Structure formats: structure tokens, C-alpha cells
């Protein structure tokens, strides 16, 4: 989760908790009922937050694994391409070396 989305999630959860708390406090119930409602709402919010964190963790793990696989594939493709290019360069250099040897042999004959 990026910093921005983490801040948004925190703001939403904080706003929801504050709104639920204010709603319960202004409800016309006895103190014990109000405390039970607050406790229940707090537990519900905790469960909801836990579920969201687990879901976010799963999504992050999934995304990270996908990005890792894509990076590894791209790296493998790049290395393979570089290997072919290196082979082409070596073949070209060997050919040039052979041409130079031939020219050198001709020059030594004269």
C-alpha cells in the first residue's frame, strides 16, 4: 500500500469510528447499553480493520509476486538478447581477425 492509500484508509476508518461513536453517544439508551454498543462497535471496527489489512496484504503480496515474475522474465529476455549479440560480436571479431591474418601473411610474402 502506498503512503497515500494508507492515509486514505486510516482517514476513512477514523471517520467511521468517530461517526459510530457519536451516533451511539447521542442515542437515548442507558449507560450500560451504550457502553455495550460502543464495545460491540469497537470490536466490529477491529474485525473490519483486520479483514481489510489481511486483504491489503494479500493484494500486495500478489502484486509483488506478479511484478517479481515480470522482472525476472524481462531480465532473462535481456540476458538472452545480450548473449546473442555477444555471440554476433565474437563471430564478427573472429572474421575480422582472420582477415587481418590473411592480410598480414600477404604482406609478409612481399
Residue-level pLDDT at 1: 47
| pLDDT band with cut points at 50, 70 and 90 for residue 3 | low
Query: What average pLDDT does the segment 6-33 reach?
Result: 75
| pLDDT band with cut points at 50, 70 and 90 for residue 29 | low
pLDDT over 60 (residue 72):
yes
Query: What average pLDDT does the segment 1-21 reach?
Result: 73
Residue-level pLDDT at 24: 67
Give the integer Cα–Cα distance in Å for 68 and 74.
Answer: 10
pLDDT over 90 (residue 35):
no
Domain positions in the chain are 3-109
Using an 8 Å Cβ cutoff, are 29 and 19 in contact? no
Residue-level pLDDT at 28: 67
Smallest CA-to-CA distance from 12 within 61, 63, 64, 56 is with 56
Mean per-residue pLDDT of the chain: 83
Largest CA distance in the chain: 117
Amino acid at each position: 500500500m502506498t503512503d497515500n492509500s494508507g492515509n486514505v484508509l486510516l482517514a476513512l476508518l477514523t471517520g467511521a469510528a468517530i461517526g459510530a461513536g457519536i451516533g451511539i453517544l447521542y442515542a437515548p439508551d442507558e449507560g450500560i447499553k451504550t457502553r455495550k454498543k460502543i464495545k460491540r462497535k469497537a470490536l466490529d471496527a477491529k474485525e473490519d480493520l483486520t479483514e481489510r489489512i489481511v486483504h491489503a496484504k494479500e493484494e500486495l503480496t500478489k502484486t509483488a509476486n506478479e511484478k517479481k515474475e515480470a522482472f525476472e522474465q524481462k531480465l532473462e529476455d535481456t540476458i538472452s538478447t545480450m548473449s546473442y549479440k555477444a555471440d554476433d560480436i565474437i563471430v564478427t571479431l573472429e572474421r575480422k581477425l582472420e582477415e587481418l591474418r590473411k592480410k598480414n601473411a600477404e604482406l609478409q610474402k612481399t
